């Protein structure tokens, strides 16, 4: 019997499982560090410079990262169950310089 999990594993190639890895960039020191989504921390501190994330943002960070993981899981699931095209969502912040109109 083929289970959804075994179908997804075969879809993505052998024994490889996909998972969502969240990464935070500390603007203070310009370093990136991983965030463990399996263990929700009550505080997040940059391991390089010890700058702390504001406590009221921690819940938002976990919700956002886990939402991306759920979307990607559903892309894989829909590909297996409904033969839908497979996609993968990633989110990255970037600076964009906009042209200034004549003032």
Q: Answer whether residue 43 is part of any domain.
A: yes
In a domain, 49, yes or no: yes
Q: Mean pLDDT per 10-residue run, the chain (103 residues)? A: 49 64 95 92 97 97 95 93 93 87 65
Q: Please check whether residue 35 lies inside any domain of the structure.
A: yes
| Residues 67, 21: Cα–Cα separation, whole Å | 12
Residue 2 confidence (pLDDT): 46
6 in a structural domain: no
Domain that includes residue 66, residue range: 19-82
pTM above 0.85, yes or no: no
Domain count of the fold of the chain: 1
Q: Is residue 36 part of a domain?
A: yes
pLDDT at 74: 95
Domain presence at residue 7: no
Q: Is the residue at 66 inside a domain?
A: yes
CB 46 within 8 A of CB 57: no
Residue 55 lies inside a defined structural domain of this protein: yes
Confirm if 41 and 50 have CB atoms less than 8 A apart.
no
The pLDDT assigned to 1 comes to: 46
């Amino acid at each position: 019997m083929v289970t959804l999990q075994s179908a997804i594993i075969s879809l993505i190639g052998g024994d490889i499982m996909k998972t969502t890895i969240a990464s935070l960039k500390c603007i203070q020191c310009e370093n990136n560090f991983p965030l463990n989504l399996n263990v929700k921390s009550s505080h997040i501190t940059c391991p390089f410079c010890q700058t702390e994330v504001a406590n009221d943002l921690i819940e938002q960070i976990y919700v956002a990262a886990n939402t991306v993981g759920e979307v990607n899981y559903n892309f894989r699931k829909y590909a297996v169950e409904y033969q839908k095209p497979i996609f993968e969502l990633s989110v990255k912040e970037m600076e964009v310089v906009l042209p200034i109109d004549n003032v």
